[in-house]
Amino acid sequence: MPEATEEDRPARSRTPLIAGVVLLVAAVVAGILLIPKLLDREDPAADGQISPTATEITETVTPETTEPETPTAEPTTPDPTTPTQVGVVTIGQNVTDIRAADIAAMFDTYFGGINAKDYGRVASALDPAGVIDPTDPAQMAAFQEGTRTTQNSEVILHRLGDGAEGTLAEVTFRSTQEAGAGPKGRAGETCTQWSIDYTLTETNGAFRILRGAADSKPC
């Protein structure tokens, strides 16, 4: 029997092959057409769809500050002219005599004794050879009566010097007293400003009042 030729084979045997080729071509064409679409897509990260995986951290550095140094006060040397207080007595700033402290202490005994009505103290500051003899009860009684209401303040030692009978001391002070106990000729005066130049004696380093030349005026 003679062989069948291609032309003699049934036409239906070619149909599946042609269909497969058509599908392959269609797939290739579809892929080619799809590539531009893929290339035209926006970056998801650009439109906010994807959050960054790292956050930028900015560190603020505060500059170091240095506290200003507090100046240290230089030690000061006491001014030798500064007034010195000894009890109720102020040593004037111009008094630099080495005897000033001892003499001021004696005047503190005298004026402080009058203020406290301690006439034993007052007597210890008086020279028996002076105007008031502290060993004479009558003289001390008269002095006590005359200063019974007296209070002395603002006692200042202004000057020291040397005289024929001893050390000279210039002292000012204020006294208050009841009416009738004021200075001679102004008995009714209740406040008096005094300036007295005292003459002092000195025995074994102890100073005492010998006498005084007084000037006074109302406060």
Residues forming a β-bridge with 197: 170, 213
Tokens 């050390």 -> residue: 167
Distance of CA 29 to the CA centre of its chain: 96
What pLDDT is stored for residue 83 in this prediction?
Answer: 52
* pTM across the whole model: 0.62
Q: Is 109 exposed, middle or buried (0-12, 13-18, 19+ CB in 10 A)?
A: buried
What pLDDT is stored for residue 25 in this prediction?
Answer: 47
What the block records as the tokens of 213 is 């030349």
What the block records as the tokens of 25 is 């071509």
What pLDDT is stored for residue 4 in this prediction?
Answer: 42
- Say how far apart CA 88 and CA 156 lie, in whole Å: 9
Query: Residue 155 corresponds to which amino acid?
Result: V
What pLDDT is stored for residue 129 in this prediction?
Answer: 96
What pLDDT is stored for residue 84 in this prediction?
Answer: 87
- Say how far apart CA 20 and CA 98 lie, in whole Å: 138
Per-residue pLDDT of the chain (219 residues; tens, 9 = 90+): 444 444 444 444 454 444 454 444 444 444 444 444 444 444 433 343 333 333 333 344 444 544 544 444 444 344 454 458 999 999 999 999 999 999 999 999 999 999 999 999 999 999 999 999 999 999 999 999 999 999 999 999 999 999 999 999 999 999 999 999 999 999 999 999 999 999 999 998 899 999 999 999 999
Residue-wise burial string across 139-160, b where 16 or more C-beta atoms lie within 10 A, e elsewhere: ebeebeeebeebebeebbbbeb
| Cα dihedral 197/156/105/132 (nearest 10) | 30
